[in-house]
Each structure stands twice: as structure tokens, then as C-alpha cells.
Amino acid sequence: MSQARYACVFSRALQGVSAPEIQVEVHSSNGLPNISLVGLPETSVKESRDRVRSALAANGFALPPKRITVNLAPADLPKQGSRYDLAIALGVLAATGTLTFSRDLQGFEFLGELSLDGRLRPVPGMLPAVIHASQQGRCVVVPNESLAECAQVSGAEVLGASHLNDVCGFLLGQAELDQPDATMKQVPEPAYAQDMADVQGQLQAKRVLEICASGGHSLLMVGPPGSGKSMLAERFPTILPPLAEDQALELAAIHSVAGKERGPEGFYRRHFESPHHSATAAAMIGGGSGSVIQPGAISLAHHSVLFLDELPEFQRPVLEALREPLETGTVQITRVNQKVQFPAKVQLLCAMNPTPSGFFADDPQGRCKDTPEQIARYQRKLSGPLMDRIDCHLEVPAVEYAELAGQNTEASVEPSSVIRARVADCQARQQARQGCLNAQMPVPAMQKQWPLDDATHALLEKAMDRLGLSARGYHRILRVARTLADMQGRKDIGIEEVSEALSYRRLDRWGANS
């Protein structure tokens, strides 16, 4: 009577942006020929049995008539997707004695979906798996299509294969797998098709965008249709410095989980996420059916820009769901059997019309036909707590003819590269002084490191009484004022900086109508 055999192959699950280790344990013994799968697998995982069986048969691997049990450990972690196909197939070959591998399986991790003829297909979440596997000192075998993406993880050992036979030949010591070449690891500088010089006029808006970029502040632009709000927002990433390596890797990992690979050409480029106003709360902050939890728009814009155009047209519950992530920089999604956290440190840009008709109430041409009640009802779509979390409020007027015709272009054609250099210098000063941007400065540290003179205190006290500012609004004004001082190279915050910061909080009175 033949003895039972056992094999263990390592793979990785997907849980948010983490990738818990999965031990694919395979046991073969005498009994009715069957492959059973245990370990809390969902339907997509159970279907691996048929894909694995067909892939092995198509490549001439005749399995003995054994009872095969596949356990995905730990058993209390839900498993979903087709990411375990390759690991299961290799475990079955080893446990049944069909192949005797010369390489030690304990030094590798395997990820990939198997087609019925044995070809390997990529799966979402490759990057987090490679990051965690490299911390364990293991080499990761992935489909060739994912090799360039995984090559961006510094210090990780990654090999690529296009077919099950390639992996088997490698483990038998008869062949080698593909390795990332030098071109895959060469990441070019970010390039943008758009430029801030494309925007005619709007000098005040450009200045405020530079302030927000320099300090990491959020912005709401209010103006009539065609004033350039969306155009300005789309060019905002072009004045931001490139992502640092750790930031780029975090953002790429989130996109990998969502199945949106960021190629080498866009690795260090800031992402611009602009969901439609019909987006649901799950699309905005993350979620999904079953245990497959996907990152939302706010996480896809991590270390980048989240732009909400036509802000009042979003459903109010969707906007209110953003309040906590904007404050904490993370999204917590809780289900019955799991809890997932996604990072969400974003720079929020919003745009809206001032009234339902689209024009300012005091429009000189009389195009606003809305009643005060209609305007108030429109503005009440935005809650006071949400407005309180936006650092700067800017009115964007219509562009004058002379600017559109290019008659006043000397001061408005500054390219993004020039602005980006100033922004990078300003951010470097903040990082050197306090280790973070001004928008992320904790309140206790602000009180110690940003002293104010008596005249500035008096101005802020008067402004708080008149505008009805909350404590959060007060601190946000200080952060913007600190950025203004940094842009001027000044050591302390003065009345001039505070006055300008206060001028960007004109819409705080909307909160009183909510």
C-alpha cells in the first residue's frame, strides 16, 4: 500500500493593501479520486480545482488515482480570487509524486491564475504580495505580464513565467525563469501632457493653487461655467513635486489591488482621480460585494489629487462619508468576518457653481435668475462640517476677453515646471523644519513651533467672532498662513499672512445655513 504524501507551497492572500501569507498544504492518500479544497475558500477559489485539473491534463501530467486534500491556511482567513491556482498546481504535483522538484519550495512564493492550457495570467494585488514576500526573504514567481510592475520593489527577488511548464522546468533545475531587465527598473521622470501655462488669465486662482500645492491644503473653487475651474484642477498635479519612492510604492500597491497597474512611465507621477458625481459611497471610500473589498476613489488618490467637480451634485451621504478619511488619512471598512484599512492621504480639490443657474447672484449681466431661497437651498447641499474641512475657498470669476485673446499673457504663461520648482523648495523647508507639510502639522506642535504676536492674535480673535469659525477652521487658517510665510521665506507668521489666509475662508458662513 502506498504511503500518504504531503507538500506545502507558499502564496499570498489579499486583504486591503496587506498580503497575509498563505500556506497551500496538499495531502494525497488512498481513497476515491477527488480534489477537495478547504480553508474558507469562496466560489472563485473552489473553481481552482477544475482549472488546475484541466491545466495539468493538458500538459501531460497524469495524476494518480488519489484522494487529494488542499488546505489554504490559515483557515479562518477568507480566500477569494484565482491567485492560488499556480501554488495549488505545484502542490498537487509534489504531493502526488508526479514530479520531484530539485529546488526547495520553501524559498519561493507563487502567484497567478492558470488557464485551461496551463498559461499564466496576472491577478490583482501583485505588488503588495511582492512587498511582503521580500520582507520574508522569499523569491516570488509571477506571470510575465506582472514582472515590470513587481520589478519596482527595491530589494525584491522576482521571477516571471508565462506557462506552468516553465515553472515546473525551473523547479526541476532544467530551465531558468525570466528576470526583470534593466529597462524595467529605469523609471523616467514624470511627464504631463498638460501645463499650467495653458490657462489664460486667472492669476489669483493660480496663486491659490500654488499655495495649496506648497502646503498640502485642500481647495474649493466657486465660479460660473467656463471660468476654468476644471482646467485648473486637471493641471494641479503638474505643479506638485514627483512622488518619493516610498510614496510611489504605496500608491502603486493600492492601484495593484484595484487591478490598475501603474507602469514605469507613471510610477512617480501624481495621480489625478476625478469620480463622477453619480458615484456611490462604496465607489468613493471603498467596498464591494462579498469579501472582495476594493479601494475607493479617495484611496486611489493617495499622495495625489482627488477632484470633485460639481460638488453639490454628489449625494450628501457620499460627501459626508469623506469627512473622517479627510481628517485621519485612512479608510476603515468593516465586514462581519474582516476589517480592511486603506490609506487615503489626499489633496482634495472641489469645484462648484455659486448658484443653481451657474452664475453669481450679483452677475453684472443679470444672468442669475435664482431666488434667495433657491440659492440658499443649493448651498445647503454642502454641510458645515464638510466645508470646515476644506482649507481654502476661492471665487473664480469669468475670464475676460483680453485674457482669452492672449493680449495679457506676460504674467500668465508661467509653465508648470517653474511653479513646481518653487513648490518643491517650499515643501523642502517644511520637511526640514517639522518633518511634514503644514497641512499635516499636529495641533500641539503648531502651538509650540508657530508663535504669534499680540496683533496677530487680536486679528484672529476678531475674525473668529465675525465668521463663526470652529477650532478646526482656526487651525486650518494658521496652517495656510504658515505656508504663505514659507513661500516668502519668513520665519514667523504675521498679520499679512493671516489676513490673506482669512480671505480664503469667505464661504464659512455657508455652514450657518446647514
Structure confidence by residue, pLDDT tens digits, 386-401: 988 999 999 999 888 7
Highest mean pLDDT: which of 35-39, 263-267, 286-290? 35-39
**Residues sharing a CB contact under 8 Å with residue 349, sequence separation 6 or more, in sequence order:** 212, 218, 219, 221, 233, 236, 305, 306, 307, 308
Sign of CA dihedral 354, 355, 358, 361: negative
Sign of CA dihedral 215, 217, 222, 223: positive
Do residues 285 and 333 make contact, with C-beta atoms less than 8 angstroms apart? yes
CA distance 154 to 134: 9
**pLDDT reading at 145 higher than 70:** yes
Higher-scoring residue by pLDDT: 42, 512: 42
All three cell numbers of 382: 454642502
* Angle of CA points 163, 169, 172, to nearest 5°: 145
What confidence score (pLDDT) does residue 345 get? 96
Higher-scoring residue by pLDDT: 411, 415: 415
**pLDDT reading at 207 higher than 50:** yes
All three cell numbers of 271: 495621480
**pLDDT reading at 208 higher than 80:** yes
User: Which of 100, 72, 66 is CA-nearest to residue 14?
Assistant: 72
CA distance 88 to 29: 16
Can you tell me the mean pLDDT for 90-114? 96
pTM of the model: 0.90
**Residues sharing a CB contact under 8 Å with residue 325, sequence separation 6 or more, in sequence order:** 285, 298, 331, 344
Radius of gyration of the chain (CA): 28
Cell match 443653481: residue? 356
3-state secondary structure 302-337: CCCEEEECCHHHCCHHHHHCCHHHHHHCEEEEECCC
Can you tell me the mean pLDDT for 95-120? 96
What confidence score (pLDDT) does residue 113 get? 97
Cell match 510604492: residue? 249
List phi, psi (to 5°) of 425: -65, -45
Higher-scoring residue by pLDDT: 86, 268: 86
How many residues does the structure list for the chain?
514
Do residues 109 and 126 make contact, with C-beta atoms less than 8 angstroms apart? no
pLDDT in tens, 279-317: 999 999 998 766 678 999 999 999 999 999 999 999 999
What confidence score (pLDDT) does residue 191 get? 82
**pLDDT reading at 338 higher than 80:** no
**pLDDT reading at 156 higher than 80:** yes
Do residues 156 and 133 make contact, with C-beta atoms less than 8 angstroms apart? yes
All three cell numbers of 429: 523647508
Mean pLDDT of the chain: 91
What confidence score (pLDDT) does residue 190 get? 80
CA distance 152 to 156: 9
**pLDDT reading at 411 higher than 60:** no
What confidence score (pLDDT) does residue 265 get? 78
Q: Which residue ranges form the domains of the chain, and what is each CATH number?
A: 5-185 (3.30.230.10), 196-354+382-428 (3.40.50.300), 438-514 (1.10.8)
pLDDT band at 253 (very low <50, low <70, confident <90, very high): very high
In this structure, the number of other CB atoms found within 10 A of the CB of residue 63 comes to 18
Do residues 439 and 215 make contact, with C-beta atoms less than 8 angstroms apart? yes
What confidence score (pLDDT) does residue 514 get? 38
pLDDT in tens, 466-483: 888 889 999 999 999 999
CA distance 261 to 418: 30
pLDDT band at 1 (very low <50, low <70, confident <90, very high): very low
End-to-end CA distance of the chain: 79
Higher-scoring residue by pLDDT: 32, 47: 47
Q: Which residues pair with 163 in a beta bridge?
A: 119
CA distance 272 to 270: 7
pLDDT band at 3 (very low <50, low <70, confident <90, very high): low
What confidence score (pLDDT) does residue 464 get? 86
pLDDT band at 407 (very low <50, low <70, confident <90, very high): low
